[in-house]
Amino acid sequence: MFCVFDLSRRLMTKLALVLLACIACGSAPATTVPASVPAPVVSGPMLTGAAHWADSAGRLIDKATFAGDLQGLRSAGLLLDQALAAYPNDALLLQYRGYELYREAGLLGTNPATAKAELPLVGQVAATGRIRLLESLAAEPLPETHALLAMTMGRMIGLDQIYSPTLGPLIPKEMNAAVAMAPNNPRIWLLRGIQSFYTRSEYGGGLPVAETQLNKAIELFATDNPTPPAPSWGKAEAYVWLGQVLQKQNRIDEARAAYNNALSVQHDYPWVTYSLLPSIERR
């Protein structure tokens, strides 16, 4: 597991200079990164340039997400900001930055003691994530970008209804664009399932719809094998959300099985181990 690390101002400046120097000479920055910046774990050919940084940041985001590690997410965001200083129009780097902010907004406000005070910050994080995702789409349309944008706008509306008239009509447009672009992408169906989990049935959502979409995601994850640095997140999470759908329908044995399947994919998953499974056993 990657360690949580703090980037001082001096280190961030040094990293930016290293990246810019590598752009100028056409070399990959992988071999000149300061020691405190985690190197990516890459299977297959060694990645260079923007792909190297996207893959490294993506892995950091996933580790931090599973651990519920807010500082780890922010560290990944700092890494992406430095990479974007060198590769400002890279669609995947911008997507991963928006993805990190989507995860960060989801993690903020989960502590009941501080949730109310953090609401303005959640809104700021979500709004910034939307900007990065729009920039990613402008550079190159990618299916996960469309779906993450839909989810981010939904969160913004949930935080402040003032966004509803302008962003509300755009949400189905973006999600439909994601499906049209990649109908067999499991991350798209995962996000659709989460969206339906929170959407009332009269608006096209509801638990049965979410269950169908999440089961489709799980089916597609069985053969999902993206080539780095393409996004590969979501497999364990699909079981987690399916478990929550089943639990809300009082299908307890099936929910327990779904949570255990999540742990079989991601053994270190505190949300499942310390929250979701115990919530079943307390019933």
**Backbone φ and ψ of 151, nearest 5°:** -65, -40
pTM: 0.84
- 8 A C-beta contact, residue 29 and residue 14: no
Check residue 34 and give left, alpha or beta (phi > 0: left; psi -120 to 50: alpha). Answer: beta
> What is the rounded distance in angstroms from the CA atom of residue 103 to the CA atom of residue 65?
7
CA 166 to mean position of chain CA atoms = 24
Smallest Cα–Cα separation from 238: which of 200, 178, 185?
A: 185
C-alpha gyration radius of the chain: 19
**Contact residues for 232 (Cβ-Cβ < 8 A; gap 6+):** 58, 224, 226
Kindly give the confidence (pLDDT) of every residue in the chain, 283 residues in length, as a single tens digit, with 9 standing for 90 and above: 334 333 333 433 343 433 333 333 333 333 333 334 444 444 446 899 999 999 999 999 999 999 999 999 999 999 999 999 999 999 999 999 999 999 999 999 787 777 888 999 999 999 999 999 999 999 999 999 999 999 999 999 999 999 999 999 999 999 999 999 999 999 999 999 999 999 999 999 999 999 999 999 999 999 999 999 999 999 999 999 999 999 999 999 999 999 999 999 999 999 999 999 999 987 6
